[in-house]
Structure 1
Amino acid sequence: MTVLRVDSTIQGDRSASAALADLVLAELTASRPGETVVHRHLGRDPLPAHAWATAVGAGWTAPEQRTPEQADAVALAQQLATELREADAAVLALPLYNWGVSQHVKTWIDLAIAGGAPGDRLLDGTPVVLVTTRGGGYGPGTPKEGWDHATGYLRRILGEVWGADLTVVERELTLVGVNPALDALAEPAALQKKEAEAAAAAAGRALAAR
């Protein structure tokens, strides 16, 4: 099995999303220690934002007439599409930033789409664990209800556009203990953390059983 892991955190060792992805992979590799993990870290090693427009423009240019920049952008887009297509499973740790996906994730998605054929289901039938975290609370009745514009979008791209067999692990209130305005939410934050860790471990065991 080849497992594609993608991270997009900018929090380094403090990352809640990376910690949950670690749990998924720990459960998987405990049962299947010989599996190959391909790791792409979009936050630490971001893709060039201009590459998507360049790759799309190159699609209207004969290969022999493309500039070196166009050729490089097309090659990068195809590489990203191939990583997705060749993965037997994927663990994607993609936290919410500013109420949506980060620019790093959007560039990755756009380039991967450009690197495939129109309508290409890059994860067709592939088991995928999406780990997504949010600093605040976005549930029903909260002041920020409806402000999470990332999770629904990722479900559409991963599940409906790319055809993944999708499991979503979510954790909210990760900024409790960091933002004093959230201090009163320490108890629900601790419960959220515990439930998310259990869900991540279960998702890892499910991947191992595939």
Structure 2
Amino acid sequence: MPTLLHIDSSVFSTEASASRAVTATFRKHWQEQHPDGTVVYRDLAADPVPHLSAEAHVAGFVPPSAHSPEQAAVFAERVKLIEELEQADAVLIGAPMYNYTIPSTLKAWLDNVILFGRTAGETPSAKGTPVTVVASRGGSYAPGTPREGYEYVQNYLTAVLADALGLDLDFIVPELTMAPQNPAMAELIPLYEASRDQAHAAAADKAKRLAERLAA
């Protein structure tokens, strides 16, 4: 049965997090299609992976036989994360925008799984694996908006997930999530609600279609 690698990185609970709420919808519909499937879940806020150290970085460029004990230990942790990615039939990532970019915990996970000569390079080991990213944001950074030039989440993740790792990337983008909390954005609440509803509908639809695609 298919395996879904589900990663959340929001610092908030599902009740308070737009990205977690939408990834939960995706996962729910995925599991309805694959009740006997496997979900490998990583909550990077509750259980962050180590930021890349010098030992872990250097260990990726030398043969295992040449690893020091310290390099062997930290590289083994990188390999666990890499194997989770390689063994997944699909990947789901919650990536809220914090200060114009992704959470540092998600960046740490990416730094660990990007390994040239294995997951990145001429023949990426997870190439073609479908990945759905829920890129929530407090405002709007869509093309044509005043803050379009500050959109560093989709641009960055496209470069890393699609270009470097060769994954089949798709985005769901709930916007204006700060509207209910920020009085200055009160007039945008209807647009926020529409974006939220569209995101949940897209998550349900994408999960079902992806399940059908993998079952074919």
- What's the offset of the Cα at 1:181? 2.3
- What's the offset of the Cα at 1:141? 4.0
Question: 1:177 — aligned with what?
Answer: 180
Question: Tell me, what secondary structure is at the counterpart of 2:133?
Answer: strand
- What's the offset of the Cα at 1:19? 0.8
Q: Which amino acid aligns with 1:128?
A: V
- Alignment root-mean-square deviation, CA: 1.9
- Does the Cα contact within 8 Å between 1:133 and 1:171 map onto a contact in 2? yes
Provide the C-alpha distance between the structure 2 equivalents of 1:45 and 1:168, rounded to a whole number of angstroms: 24
Q: Which amino acid aligns with 1:206?
A: R
Q: Deviations over 1:44-74 (max 9, x none)?
A: 111122x343211234666456444322221
Question: 2:27 — aligned with what?
Answer: 25
- Does the Cα contact within 8 Å between 1:78 and 1:115 map onto a contact in 2? no
Provide the C-alpha distance between the structure 1 equivalents of 2:108 and 2:193, rounded to a whole number of angstroms: 33
Q: Deviations over 1:32-52 (max 9, x none)?
A: 211100001111111122x34
TM-score (norm 1): 0.91
Give yes or no for the alignment of 1:8 onto 2:12: no
1:204 to 204, 207, 212: 207
- Does the Cα contact within 8 Å between 1:92 and 1:129 map onto a contact in 2? yes
- Show structure 1 runs of 5+ residues with no match: none
2:130 to 107, 127, 131: 127
Question: 1:34 — aligned with what?
Answer: 36
Give yes or no for the alignment of 1:186 onto 2:171: no
Provide the C-alpha distance between the structure 2 equivalents of 1:22 and 1:77, rounded to a whole number of angstroms: 26
Say how many residue pairs are matched: 209
Q: Which structure 2 residues correspond to residues 1-210 of structure 1 after superposition, within 5 A? A: 1-13=2-14, 14-49=16-51, 51-59=52-60, 63=64, 66-114=67-115, 117=118, 119=121, 121-210=124-213
Provide the C-alpha distance between the structure 2 equivalents of 1:55 and 1:138, rounded to a whole number of angstroms: 35
- Does the Cα contact within 8 Å between 1:9 and 1:95 map onto a contact in 2? yes
Q: More displaced, 74-83 or 113-122?
A: 113-122
- What's the offset of the Cα at 1:133? 0.3
- What's the offset of the Cα at 1:104? 0.8
Task: State, as a whole percentage, how many aligned pairs show the same letter.
Answer: 37
Q: Deviations over 1:100-138 (max 9, x none)?
A: 111111111111113863515243111221111001111
- Does the Cα contact within 8 Å between 2:133 and 2:171 map onto a contact in 1? yes
- Show structure 2 runs of 5+ residues with no match: none
Q: Which amino acid aligns with 2:169?
A: L
Provide the C-alpha distance between the structure 1 equivalents of 2:95 and 2:18, rounded to a whole number of angstroms: 10
- Does the Cα contact within 8 Å between 1:81 and 1:116 map onto a contact in 2? no
Q: More displaced, 28-37 or 132-141?
A: 132-141
Q: 1:115 to 1:60 in 2, by over 3 A?
A: closer
TM-score (norm 2): 0.88
Q: More displaced, 141-150 or 84-93?
A: 141-150
Q: Deviations over 1:131-189 (max 9, x none)?
A: 11001111234332211101111112111211112221111111111122221211111
Question: Tell me, what secondary structure is at the counterpart of 1:76?
Answer: helix
Q: Which amino acid aligns with 1:77?
A: R
